[in-house]
A = this chain, B = another copy of it.
Amino acid sequence: MQNYNVNIELSGDRFSVTYILSGEEDVARIIAKHICVEQTVEFPEELLPDGDIRRHIVGRIESFTALGHDKWKTEISFANETSGFELPQLLNNIFGNISLEPGIRVDNLSLSAKFLSCFRGPRFGREGIRTLVRVPHRPLLSTALKPMGLPPAELADLAYQFALGGIDIIKDDHGLANQPFSTWSERVHRCTEAVARANAQTGYSSIYMPNVTAPANVIEKFAYQAKSIGVGGLLIAPGLTGFDIVRQLASDANLRLPLMSHPAFLGSFVTDPFSGISHRVLFGQMMRLAGADATVYPNHGGRFSFTEDACRSIVEGATTPMGHIAPIFPTPGGGMTQERIPEMIKMYGREAIFLIGGGLFKGVGNITENSKRLLNVVTEACVNL
């Protein structure tokens, strides 16, 4: 094979990935070269045919700089065509085989406007969701129906109480699937009806988002059923379903429902700070590229271990300019309470969805009263924003 020349048509446009590498400089430089090969040709370099494969298909080190403490930052570019302009293969390019090696962390993605034009991204984005729930200015409020085990009628009653209290987005807890004690169809019918009934009383436009994290052959069917029942959006956990079904749902012109992504089963990508994928990329850029309109993650200081910096980087990934791809809502949750609101507003401003689950069950009042109080706190805290 060494002796023949392969020429293929390539646009010359490339996407690039910034990786943080750990180790001494000579090792890190070897790893950078290794990424170029492993993420593309996976082939002994000396045996590659001459021509375009060697010149353009193998990844290219665009920069390599020291971060100190045996940490290095390298930007590696890949021909757009290696992705086939498809999300699963793009993820594979970025971190397929090298996910198997410790000491490599995906830090940032840089995709040209031209490349991004191959991806629809979120159909609604922040503005689309605001229009839907008719809340133009303040941060939105979301809560989760739980605990798992409650029958649909009880969950619907909770949904009704939350909606009466003015919670904008009432979603299934991500552990509500299609269990015998709460089947998907009955739950979605009842909760949708309950939220509509509350809206008729309050004049609000609260929406219900059922969980469609379901078997692969069921997700689309559930999404359409949910649409016909009259839900306001869908919750999905790409760690469990794959990222590409999010893209499929977001791209479907007949569906047109906002999508909220949940981080379940994705934590291992971020827990080791020197391996895996950065919070910014995973919960920001990737969710957005896939087409989520809101990205749920555990806020710092809650039940989970995300730092404040990690949360800020998610906001960055969810909102900084990215070609035609709309900014989406960071949706911090995971043990948040009403008491955290002033501080959350200080950190996130108005462009966020605050997800408060169990916290609304606590406190002095009933659920509707607690929800109303939360809404008041947020509304008042935003007057000066």
Binding site for B on A (CB under 8 A): 1, 6, 8-10, 34, 38-44, 47-49, 52-53, 57, 81-84, 86-89, 91-93, 95-102, 144, 146-151, 154, 173-175, 177-181, 213-217, 220, 237, 239-245, 247-248, 263-272, 275-277, 298, 303-306, 334, 357-358, 361-362
Chain A interface helix/strand/loop/mixed: loop
Nearest CB of chain B from residue A105's CB, rounded to whole Å: 9
Q: How far, in angstroms, from A305 to B170 measured CA to CA in the complex?
A: 44
- Identify A247's interface contact among B49, B52, B216, B362, CB under 8 A: B216
Residue pairs across A and B with Cβ atoms less than 8 A apart, 12 shown, are A6-B151, A40-B147, A81-B179, A81-B181, A82-B179, A86-B215, A89-B213, A92-B240, A99-B268, A100-B304, A100-B306, A268-B275
The answer to whether A147 touches B96, judged by C-beta atoms less than 8 angstroms apart, is no
A277 in contact with B267 given A8-B151, A86-B177, A303-B38 (CB within 8 Å): no
- Identify A42's interface contact among B81, B146, B275, B277, CB under 8 A: B146
The answer to whether A267 touches B215, judged by C-beta atoms less than 8 angstroms apart, is no
Neighbouring B residues of A265 by C-beta, 8 Å:
91-92, 95-96, 99
Q: How far, in angstroms, from A241 to B96 measured CA to CA in the complex?
A: 12
Neighbouring B residues of A81 by C-beta, 8 Å:
179-181
Which residue on chain B has the smallest CB distance to residue A10?
A: B181
The answer to whether B148 touches A40, judged by C-beta atoms less than 8 angstroms apart, is yes
Nearest CB of chain B from residue A208's CB, rounded to whole Å: 18
The answer to whether B267 touches A101, judged by C-beta atoms less than 8 angstroms apart, is yes
Q: How far, in angstroms, from A127 to B307 measured CA to CA in the complex?
A: 49
A41 in contact with B151 given A86-B178, A96-B175, A271-B102 (CB within 8 Å): no
Which residue on chain B has the smallest CB distance to residue A4?
A: B154
Neighbouring B residues of A6 by C-beta, 8 Å:
149-151, 154
Q: How far, in angstroms, from A305 to B104 measured CA to CA in the complex?
A: 13
A44 in contact with B362 given A149-B6, A174-B92, A174-B96 (CB within 8 Å): yes
Q: How far, in angstroms, from A311 to B267 measured CA to CA in the complex?
A: 24
Q: How far, in angstroms, from A362 to B91 measured CA to CA in the complex?
A: 30
Nearest CB of chain B from residue A245's CB, rounded to whole Å: 4
Q: How far, in angstroms, from A248 to B245 measured CA to CA in the complex?
A: 15
Which residue on chain B has the smallest CB distance to residue A359?
A: B44
Q: How far, in angstroms, from A73 to B193 measured CA to CA in the complex?
A: 45
The answer to whether B41 touches A147, judged by C-beta atoms less than 8 angstroms apart, is yes
Neighbouring B residues of A275 by C-beta, 8 Å:
268, 271-272
Nearest CB of chain B from residue A144's CB, rounded to whole Å: 8
Q: How far, in angstroms, from A44 to B151 measured CA to CA in the complex?
A: 18
- Identify A82's interface contact among B57, B148, B247, B263, CB under 8 A: B148
- Identify A149's interface contact among B52, B174, B178, B306, CB under 8 A: B52
Nearest CB of chain B from residue A266's CB, rounded to whole Å: 6
A181 in contact with B8 given A100-B305, A247-B216, A271-B272 (CB within 8 Å): yes
- Identify A92's interface contact among B175, B305, B358, CB under 8 A: B175
The answer to whether B84 touches A147, judged by C-beta atoms less than 8 angstroms apart, is no
Neighbouring B residues of A241 by C-beta, 8 Å:
88, 242, 244
Which residue on chain B has the smallest CB distance to residue A306?
A: B100
A53 in contact with B92 given A8-B181, A361-B1 (CB within 8 Å): no
